[in-house]
Amino acid sequence: MRNEKILVVDDDPAIRRLIWKSLQSTGILIYQSESVEKTLDIMSRVTFDLFILDISLEHENDGYHLAQLIREQDMVVPIIFLSGKKNEEDIINGLEVGADYYMTKPFLPNLLKAQVVATLNRGKVLRNHKTVENTNEIIEGDFRFDKSRYQLFKKDQPIKLSSKEIKLIQFFMENPDQVFTKEQIYHSVWGGGELDANTIMVFINHLRNKIEDDPKNAKYIKTIWGLGYTFLPEGE
């Protein structure tokens, strides 16, 4: 039986009840909130392993703001947006503010359950892997990654990244100068499931915008046409 804690934030009690029913059999401890204010109050007392957020709470885009507040406190805790907003712009905005996944309403309870369990399992594997590492730093070329603080440095200058960008650059730095397909990247960073090539492209572009001298002429994260991507820590 699982013992993780997750917080469901949605202003619709029927949705919160459906999420609770979807996850009840897992043994996961499910907390509920309907607002940003209440969420921050609960977070001051409880540490969570995952958040499920709606976008429209008291105000239309409260969920985006809440995700940013969560990221200010914890850069790596998983966030899943579960929203009725289905436009591409809404999904991209959700990923940009720090969400790991974006699911739309109406949703399939079993699919949500599978996504939550897979996300929690992936987080547990990453935490266990971190504890057995002999060093807290990865140094490759112009980059240094501090695994104890989840902080990336380029030429000793800190670079602020979202949680998924952190996982992506860590994957690249642990596997430099190798070509990976989108499927391999998605499996390693997102923890499996159905490939979402657009999500990978969004995060690759975000990461390039933060680490490249000229994102339009990338020299660190190179696209290998027809294959995938490679990370060249020394630059092209």
Which tokens go with 84?
């009725």
In angstroms, the CA 26 to CA 9 distance is 19
Angle between the 109-132 and 13-23 helix axes, to the nearest 10 degrees?
A: 60
pLDDT, residue 2, reads 72
pLDDT, residue 149, reads 87
**What's the pLDDT band for 111 if we cut at 50, 70, 90?**
very high
Domain ranges of the chain: 5-129, 133-231
Report the sign of the C-alpha dihedral through residues 85, 90, 91, 95, in that order.
Answer: negative
* Whether 30 contacts 9, CB under 8 Å: no
Fold of the CATH domain 5-129 = Rossmann fold (3.40.50)
Angle between the 88-96 and 197-211 helix axes, to the nearest 10 degrees?
A: 50
Q: Where does residue 29 rank: exposed (0-12), middle (13-18), buried (19+ CB within 10 A)?
A: middle
Distances in Å between the alpha carbon of 93 and those of 60, 86, 228? 13, 11, 24
pLDDT, tens digit, 9 for 90 and up, residues 112-155:
999 999 888 876 665 555 444 446 889 998 899 998 889 999 98
Polymer length of the chain: 236
Which residue from 11, 82, 101, 3 is spatially nearest to 47, judged by alpha carbons?
Answer: 3
Alpha helices, DSSP H, located in 106-179: 109-132, 163-174
pTM of the model: 0.62
The gap from C-alpha 50 to its chain's centroid, in whole angstroms, comes to 10
Any idea which architecture 133-231 has in CATH? Orthogonal Bundle (1.10)
Helices (H) and strands (E) in the chain, counts: 8, 12
pLDDT, residue 131, reads 44
pLDDT, tens digit, 9 for 90 and up, residues 3-14:
899 999 999 999
pLDDT, tens digit, 9 for 90 and up, residues 192-234:
667 777 888 999 999 999 999 999 999 999 999 988 999 999 8
